[in-house]
Structure 1
């Protein structure tokens, strides 16, 4: 394990040390009842900072501030000004990217080099992409059959949006949620995960610096109780959530009872199929990154691998060898490729699945069951199970850790059946040199996204999301912009 950890930059160190407040109505304030909670460094398990614990009074204040901005200064802004503010926010994130990458590494355990190469550029490009939309949101004139009648539509913001983001991509998920909502003219109450609150608070400072009217964006730190209060609040018009399917179902039920708009980006147990004619070098590299990137803590992890029997042993052997050589270590060490898991809770969860897989009779070809009580950070090495069956928990349930399960298949129909045998439907992959096979399987796989000879490709313009238990609606692209807009139909009698 790596141990050469450089010190924090002056900017990141100063941010972590200073007192943190909720961002409500353009001001940083303590929680109304004064409560706080701690956030920890997953690389060391050491205490980082205390942040406010938002309670019902804080939720009321943030929703009221968002409503005031929607009905006031923010709602009155021309579309071009909204666009320019989003551009300015993108510029500020870019100017502070190095500091934000360190804050993310420190709070969430993702290697700083990965934050710099992926998370920060993705966040910046999301703000830039959606900055082009405010001036292009248009209604339509409808040629109705009634005489002397003008009928047209207006596209209007949904209203006040509660946005609840996960801990695995904190800053990037904040951008995914904020950018389309602001482009559509909505106002936002953002709640980061309790494990990773710091980058959202730093982003709030940049929102302030960019010049958004007070109340346009509000940030509440807290736990699931805070999120539940937001979901239930009568002043919230829409809820956007990324996280577990279990919590997503609860949010959907609560929102449904109140007839609130929702978008839910939930879990996945994603199949990755390697056909006999695949480029094995590319398939091995894609499968390895697909499951072990971010230590497996991603909804689109390629966690189920199905390989044609003629290539199975070679591919599994190469993956096991690569897993044994993986550089696992502290997130601030630039030699680290795979950081720790985010928390003690997540460490225990993944450890439990590893123990369960061994007990169920699967063969652990790479990795190990880690110690019950970790020393220092929450490190779990990349693991690979073979000799699995479809009914095993490690095969069916989302682990959210660096754990791959692999099985051979003989016929393509068998691979499709195995891939679709899941309550989830987020992503799937196919590796083949045959164009016909690739696109035929893309149509047969029941998932919101299919990657052909790649894994986890993305762009702000391309919709992201799943079917079945993997969610409702889409992130990114025009599809997510539309999720923050309501269509109003206006009828006018032109008769004298």
Structure 2
């Protein structure tokens, strides 16, 4: 079916609802810089209506009274319908944020749907109440219940995967959701909503309202919300954490990163170069866990710099809807300016550009930035400290293994990372010493079945894996004394 690029309603309570105001978001194609269409911009009144619909669905009706097995069945129906719309989802994301279609297909329209199926299977097998021994009484009955209405705030870089990483465990637990997508990637949420309607997801279980930051802040503080699940910048996460802290409201925060790749002195440099596009430059560098700090042993520094620069320079930059494209445009003009500002800062601080450094030739339109590699930089330089969120890498030398670990840990962030070595035991030993929530050995790809999240300024809580469901549940202990 053809992808609609202009919309006039929000998905609230299982229906297409007229917005409370006539404000609209313009949607711009990141490659052509041309207008794609318009969608409504949500207001506080739209949020009120969506939260009320989610509350009704949670407290009364089909979803509120569903068993774990019934919730699982509904989720699997939703999964089956989504699979038929994979092409529309991938195209919508790539048009809006510049993600190469070679990535949006398997990730936004593959992995994301798989998340729903994964949590549907877990939902069917969720443990019920259990009885435990009690020291003072006869026993304790421990029960689990869904937290309630979830406010899910989703960024523009992986809009579908990051929505489903909240929808899946929330639905498995029995919660309902109000989802606020980023104004930069809205069309995909309409495809997800259409699929929910076709699959018979009960009214009010999932609601979508696109809005700006101010209305998003209203959602976070709404009295009808029981939990907030946010993915985005560390600065925005801190603001949300302050609000939730004041309200004593549960919150999960998946925030920024400045992850390090530690290349040990015995590493296969060919394997490092081959893994670079996924590990460090995935989604045009617009990936929170991207390993954009490359720590290279001084004894092999030039060899590593040359290999990484060669690989970065060989990547095809162009139209993200072309399957041969490795690197598409930045998601917006403003974001490209931000990335280019960091490149200028890196040059001003004495960094040596060994690949890229500007805009690719032949791209008069589109928010493109060349994959850029800096050499001869220290871990204290701006390009090694700040999350650039673009295709910009800094290669930093180290003298020994202990220094490599120290440099990797010398960051306010702790989200991802990787260790490269031909000795798996050595790599594992080094990986265990890196202060981070996740790390890969000779590569990096998050696993659906394992918890994902950060430490330090990279966030609170975990998504993915069975552990994520616990973040949408509350536990109650009943002490049986006689």
The residue number in structure 1 matching 2:221 is 232
Judge conservation of contact 2:273–2:311 (CA < 8 Å) in 1: no
Judge conservation of contact 1:137–1:155 (CA < 8 Å) in 2: no
Establish whether residue 120 from structure 1 lines up as the match of residue 109 from structure 2.
yes
Alpha-carbon separation, structure 2, partners of 1:117 and 1:56: 35
Alpha-carbon separation, structure 2, partners of 1:370 and 1:104: 22
Q: Specify every segment of 5 or more residues in structure 1 that has no aligned partner in the other structure, as ranges.
A: 1-9
Provide the secondary structure at the position in 1 that maps to 2:5: helix
Write the deviation string for residues 148-181 of structure 1: whole angstroms up to 9, x where unpaired: x452011100110000011111111111110100
Provide the secondary structure at the position in 1 that maps to 2:106: helix
The residue number in structure 2 matching 1:111 is 100
Shift of 1:16: 1.5
Write the deviation string for residues 309-331 of structure 1: whole angstroms up to 9, x where unpaired: 22221121122122222111112
The residue number in structure 2 matching 1:26 is 14
The residue number in structure 1 matching 2:2 is 11
Provide the secondary structure at the position in 1 that maps to 2:288: coil
Provide the secondary structure at the position in 2 that maps to 1:489: strand
Corresponding residue to 2:249 among 260, 285, 295: 260
The residue number in structure 2 matching 1:409 is 398
The residue number in structure 1 matching 2:202 is 213
TM-score by length of 2: 0.96
Q: Specify every segment of 5 or more residues in structure 2 that has no aligned partner in the other structure, as ranges.
A: none
* Equivalent residue runs for 1:132-211 within 5 Å: 132-138=121-127, 139-147=129-137, 149-211=138-200
- Give the root-mean-square deviation of aligned CA atoms: 1.4
The residue number in structure 2 matching 1:484 is 472
The residue number in structure 1 matching 2:24 is 36
Shift of 1:492: 4.0
Corresponding residue to 1:90 among 39, 55, 79: 79
Judge conservation of contact 2:107–2:161 (CA < 8 Å) in 1: no
Shift of 1:493: 5.0
* Equivalent residue runs for 1:436-447 within 5 Å: 436-447=425-436
Write the deviation string for residues 175-213 of structure 1: whole angstroms up to 9, x where unpaired: 111010001000000111110011012101111111111
Corresponding residue to 2:260 among 256, 271, 275: 271
Alpha-carbon separation, structure 2, partners of 1:107 and 1:288: 21
Provide the secondary structure at the position in 1 that maps to 2:393: strand
Judge conservation of contact 1:288–1:319 (CA < 8 Å) in 2: no
Alpha-carbon separation, structure 2, partners of 1:349 and 1:293: 18
The residue number in structure 1 matching 2:37 is 49
Judge conservation of contact 2:157–2:286 (CA < 8 Å) in 1: yes
Alpha-carbon separation, structure 2, partners of 1:141 and 1:241: 34
Provide the secondary structure at the position in 1 that maps to 2:39: strand
Alpha-carbon separation, structure 2, partners of 1:421 and 1:287: 22
Provide the secondary structure at the position in 2 that maps to 1:39: strand
Establish whether residue 287 from structure 1 lines up as the match of residue 276 from structure 2.
yes
Alpha-carbon separation, structure 2, partners of 1:99 and 1:51: 17
Corresponding residue to 2:460 among 472, 475, 482: 472
Moved over 6 A (4+): none
Judge conservation of contact 1:87–1:131 (CA < 8 Å) in 2: yes
Shift of 1:36: 1.4
Judge conservation of contact 1:296–1:401 (CA < 8 Å) in 2: yes
Total equivalences in the alignment: 478
Shift of 1:118: 2.7
Shift of 1:145: 3.1
Provide the secondary structure at the position in 1 that maps to 2:244: helix
Alpha-carbon separation, structure 1, partners of 2:423 and 2:102: 35
The residue number in structure 1 matching 2:326 is 337
Shift of 1:338: 1.1
The 10-residue stretch of structure 1 (427-436 or 405-414) with the greater mean CA deviation from structure 2? 427-436
The residue number in structure 2 matching 1:423 is 412
Establish whether residue 60 from structure 1 lines up as the match of residue 48 from structure 2.
yes
Alpha-carbon separation, structure 2, partners of 1:112 and 1:437: 36
Provide the secondary structure at the position in 2 that maps to 1:427: coil
Shift of 1:335: 2.2
Alpha-carbon separation, structure 2, partners of 1:178 and 1:425: 25
Alpha-carbon separation, structure 1, partners of 2:396 and 2:133: 57
Alpha-carbon separation, structure 2, partners of 1:117 and 1:38: 27
